[in-house]
Structure 1
């Protein structure tokens, strides 16, 4: 592996620009990129709820766990690649960066094949179980998911190239393309859902079409920009290289999203066991997931910016800059999440009314959102800290901050609270889990795990 400064290092903005300006120039475009996608998801839900009906809204809500699984698998290849790519580029190791870039494409292709095969074999039975036998909800959900899963290779490719360009300092390019593609997607969804009457299947077709356009545009940008890793690297390097490292670094973030899908599935199953209005609560929970999904994306943009800055500077040995960026990012994430907490406390009914005129759905949205966001303010800083560790090559620390809540705390609390207090108190599982995670994060910081060298400690084994 080549080490030391290379000609490319002198062009690397992550190593030279003032931290405040660097943070804003990357975080703001990424927030635009992710938020326009989240806004599309919200508007799509409004189209379905307003023009198709509450049953259709319940159908796309039922599909949420699988949609989160697709997001998780996108981060498995892209997230792991980003950590390695940033450190290689920061160290000026362009050949190694090209090898990682190619290997991530091979891994994404393999994941796509397994996903499609699994969906065809197990998909219908899984959706039927989540729908608690409601065929009016399960049928549209199956059609919606089949289209998205068959389009998964496009989604994975789009994620890889967007992550790579972000690490290469082209967040602004991604922002412009994202706004364009998502605006076209909103228009296509309106035509398919409202004018053509294709229902939830029209939503899925619009999404896959927009992802295809986005991938084509990113490939054109990469082909024209000589400072980016060339497309020719995909022909020169092996598509089998670096899978183990990519998987080890991408797995914690991937499992975090899969954990969200697990939690959503458990909530849907628990709702099916209660005496409540199942369709209304499923639709309301779908509204909440879309709203909180949109709220999550700006903090994810902040965390991804931290990953880019930390990775490049850790590769160049500039941990002082990485530390400054981490502090700025955690403060920014805290302010954003405080705003989300206030919105959850006071605007739940208003948000629910955007999606449906069904009073039971609107009331359920407010009842769910208020407790779920009670301690939301701490989630952003913890995510930023986790991505800081991931960028430095420490998957176990990342896993501790991203997996304990969705895989252990929240599922257990959902079961206990449902058994003890029913659906009205079920939603307090989320703030209780947030509080426990805060204690874990503070313990890690107190033990000196906030900043650690890339090599030279016991955790070097973890980075390897």
Structure 2
């Protein structure tokens, strides 16, 4: 038996029952993502109740930049995952190691570029977003300065977590995530509530937790013989595979940046249309972004599990197993999103009260959530389908499903409806964009999956 065939035989992605495989990957990743969402919610509660509404507004202003950091983490990790999973599925561990090493060089270059860009435009950008509120601008700038300087830890940690997931260690990633996020919550409580460091304490807690997480994953990889060894980082060039990683990771990366674009369009529309309600609505929108960020993360967990399953099986020529995993994931994502809809529609005021004692903010949270939830249940299945295509090395289809809505549809509809109907029109832009992208997803998915299914059938006949 060749080394490649032996590696394939030992790969659980290719041999375990698809249902069990989906659960063993989706559940741990849901734990990982949910812990991040819980952290964001708890941090928002700390900020809102122990620092004040200006700090909550500052975090809201920082949100687009924070999303860019998450997007860049996805650029490297997501692109690497597509390549690595297929190499591992084909039993090509050496090729997987080269991609892993190249991804480290890419994140190092990204980190340097971020620091330079922040030094050049950071202050002016934050002051412009704060609309003349000096206190909010100062707090947002302090927060973002720490987050950007700590970006290398976040980016490299993301790489190693994605690598472990594609090596079949999703459960280990979940355990480490729980530990790191609990540490982060404790560090934020210490920095904000006990030491009184303000919004800077939130950023310092996040960076410290990411550094701890990175140390833990490096320790795990260094002690395991079944994982790609750390020696591949010395053996292979850090300049390898950048273009392929970027090409495959760019659609998902741009979709995260698109979230920042949408948030910026909302803030601009509020600034133009909200009048005296601007401060309360900005704070409420910050709460909503944290709540929907929490709701989004289990969707992403399901999609990432799909990516690992589809990538490994596509690399081994098992499109039948890849599509079986896709069907399970779409159903699970829909059920999760439907649950979010029910909670958002009927418990908006309660959720708002978690973050603020201001009645205006609480009322605004509920008012924002209700229209945004109208077609939210479609968002999870669309994301799953997008990452399925990304896992198969089809960035064009991924881009169509992940970029059209945040970069074109939602901002355009927000600006149009807010000009016609005022603030209320902003929130109805979201279900309108969902309806259009769902139609596009049905068209792309039906055609593509029918073709892939026919290819699988012909391959089975010829075998």
Report TM bin, short chain: over 0.9
Equivalent residue number for residue 282 of structure 1? 282
Equivalent residue number for residue 75 of structure 1? 74
Aligned residues of 2:164 and 2:173 also touching (Cα < 8 A): yes
Equivalent residue number for residue 152 of structure 1? 151
Give the whole-Å Cα distance in 2 for the aligned partners of 1:231 and 1:81: 16
**1:262 matched to 2:261:** yes
C-alpha displacement at 1:447, in angstroms?
Answer: 2.5
Equivalent residue number for residue 17 of structure 2? 18
C-alpha displacement at 1:129, in angstroms?
Answer: 1.3
User: The residue matched to 1:227 in structure 2 has which SS?
Assistant: coil
**1:168 matched to 2:167:** yes
After superposition, residues 39-438 of structure 1 pair within 5 angstroms as: 39-274=38-273, 275-438=275-438
Higher mean displacement: 277-286 or 40-49? 277-286
User: The residue matched to 2:452 in structure 1 has which SS?
Assistant: coil
Aligned residues of 1:58 and 1:282 also touching (Cα < 8 A): yes
Equivalent residue number for residue 459 of structure 2? none
Change over 3 Å in CA distance of 1:59–1:24 after alignment to 2: same
Structure 2, unmatched stretches of 5+, are 457-463
Change over 3 Å in CA distance of 1:390–1:450 after alignment to 2: farther
Render the CA deviation track for 1:55-103: whole Å, top value 9, x for unaligned. 1111111110001000000000000000000000000011110000000
Give the whole-Å Cα distance in 1 for the aligned partners of 2:322 and 2:447: 19
TM-score if structure 1 supplies the norm length?
A: 0.96
Aligned residues of 2:386 and 2:398 also touching (Cα < 8 A): yes
User: The residue matched to 1:6 in structure 2 has which SS?
Assistant: helix
C-alpha displacement at 1:120, in angstroms?
Answer: 1.2
Give the whole-Å Cα distance in 2 for the aligned partners of 1:402 and 1:267: 19
Give the whole-Å Cα distance in 2 for the aligned partners of 1:212 and 1:451: 45
User: The residue matched to 2:226 in structure 1 has which SS?
Assistant: coil
Give the whole-Å Cα distance in 1 for the aligned partners of 2:455 and 2:114: 36
**1:443 matched to 2:443:** yes
C-alpha displacement at 1:445, in angstroms?
Answer: 2.7
Aligned residues of 1:4 and 1:91 also touching (Cα < 8 A): no
Aligned residues of 1:284 and 1:365 also touching (Cα < 8 A): yes
C-alpha displacement at 1:455, in angstroms?
Answer: 10
Give the whole-Å Cα distance in 2 for the aligned partners of 1:446 and 1:241: 36
Give the whole-Å Cα distance in 2 for the aligned partners of 1:118 and 1:159: 21
Higher mean displacement: 273-282 or 41-50? 273-282
Change over 3 Å in CA distance of 1:451–1:97 after alignment to 2: farther
Aligned residues of 1:6 and 1:93 also touching (Cα < 8 A): no
Instruction: Report which of the two has the higher share of helix.
Output: 2
CA RMSD after TM alignment:
1.5
Equivalent residue number for residue 461 of structure 1? none
Give the whole-Å Cα distance in 2 for the aligned partners of 1:45 and 1:232: 40
Change over 3 Å in CA distance of 1:453–1:20 after alignment to 2: closer
Give the whole-Å Cα distance in 2 for the aligned partners of 1:300 and 1:290: 15
Aligned residues of 1:181 and 1:213 also touching (Cα < 8 A): yes
User: The residue matched to 1:240 in structure 2 has which SS?
Assistant: coil
Aligned residues of 2:356 and 2:362 also touching (Cα < 8 A): yes
C-alpha displacement at 1:31, in angstroms?
Answer: 0.4
User: The residue matched to 1:325 in structure 2 has which SS?
Assistant: helix
Equivalent residue number for residue 461 of structure 2? none
User: The residue matched to 1:428 in structure 2 has which SS?
Assistant: helix
Give the whole-Å Cα distance in 2 for the aligned partners of 1:452 and 1:253: 22
Change over 3 Å in CA distance of 1:284–1:99 after alignment to 2: same
Aligned residues of 2:105 and 2:239 also touching (Cα < 8 A): yes
Aligned residues of 1:386 and 1:401 also touching (Cα < 8 A): yes
C-alpha displacement at 1:450, in angstroms?
Answer: 5.8
Aligned residues of 1:393 and 1:454 also touching (Cα < 8 A): no
Change over 3 Å in CA distance of 1:454–1:195 after alignment to 2: farther
Change over 3 Å in CA distance of 1:175–1:271 after alignment to 2: same
Give the whole-Å Cα distance in 2 for the aligned partners of 1:96 and 1:454: 29
Equivalent residue number for residue 460 of structure 1? none
Higher mean displacement: 207-216 or 8-17? 8-17
Aligned residues: 454
User: The residue matched to 2:88 in structure 1 has which SS?
Assistant: helix
Give the whole-Å Cα distance in 2 for the aligned partners of 1:407 and 1:455: 33
Aligned residues of 2:251 and 2:395 also touching (Cα < 8 A): yes
Aligned residues of 1:7 and 1:92 also touching (Cα < 8 A): yes
Render the CA deviation track for 1:24-64: whole Å, top value 9, x for unaligned. 01100000011101100100000010111111111111110
User: The residue matched to 1:452 in structure 2 has which SS?
Assistant: helix
Aligned residues of 2:320 and 2:453 also touching (Cα < 8 A): no
